[in-house]
Structure 1
């Protein structure tokens, strides 16, 4: 059953992360280079402190264009206290959270520490693997 599949089995381990002092345009460049819609922001100890999304970047650049001052650091524009999911949560809970909150991805925590990111794409991989497994069993 799909509920028995844990987030840890399909999350992206060692995700791209940003530091709050990183230049916003450097972060935008990295998001584009990696084809991501968002990435976690971590402090010097590697603890999750926020997430920087495409929407955050757009808000920052639009505000900068309006005020003729389009620069700054990731920490100024990131979403603080982002939604997260536990590494041992089931994929169904993850899918519900992604859909209800219209998120593209969620940081994955294990005992409060960032251990990965789960995206909609990752959930679809789990669904495909489950469907393929059922087909193989003849169900």
Structure 2
């Protein structure tokens, strides 16, 4: 009796160049909701809820990145205003934003960016070119890039 193979036909492998670099700038969001330092935190809270986002970059009049404001920053403001019995409407973004903002180079490989996300526990990184805010990359953008690649040459 001969040996029977239960292995089906093999799928032919595509010969796609493995050295293709997926750059952050190809997957970043360019149309951003930004905030100004003089805006009230109350305005930011309304914008975060209305746009279903968890935070956004703060830019000056020249579109230069000066900070990031997040849901957490707004929550901190709400709890402090409640504790000290101060109105929420009077506090401004400049007082609540994170000023020391880490950015990512738009030419960085998305898998390097994924590692940076894991190492830093940050949810989004702005991309700045010549001092100007050009876009933002999020963890979700990295996942989208990986899923596009998966269809081409992941097993």
Structure-2 change in CA distance of 1:21 and 1:49 (3 Å): same
Task: Name 2:64's counterpart in structure 1.
Answer: 47
Structure-2 change in CA distance of 1:54 and 1:123 (3 Å): same
Normalized per residue, which structure has more helix? 1
Q: Normalising by structure 2, what TM-score?
A: 0.82
Aligned pairs (5 A) from 1:30-45: 30-45=47-62
Task: Name 1:131's counterpart in structure 2.
Answer: 150
| Deviation of 1:7 (Å) | 0.5
1:19 maps to which of 23, 30, 36:
36
Q: Which runs of 5+ in 1 are unaligned?
A: none
Structure-2 change in CA distance of 1:133 and 1:77 (3 Å): same
* Corresponding position: 1:88 with 2:107: yes
Contact residue 37 and residue 104 of structure 1 kept, 8 A: no
Q: Deviations over 1:17-61 (max 9, x none)?
A: 000000111111111111111100001111000000111111111
Q: Deviations over 1:96-115 (max 9, x none)?
A: 12222111111111233210
Q: Normalising by structure 1, what TM-score?
A: 0.91
Task: Report the number of matched residues.
Answer: 136
Please state whether the residue corresponding to 1:133 is helix, strand or coil: helix
Q: Which runs of 5+ in 2 are unaligned?
A: 1-17
Moved over 6 A (4+): none
Structure-2 change in CA distance of 1:80 and 1:99 (3 Å): same
| Deviation of 1:3 (Å) | 7.4
| Deviation of 1:67 (Å) | 0.6
Larger radius of gyration: 2
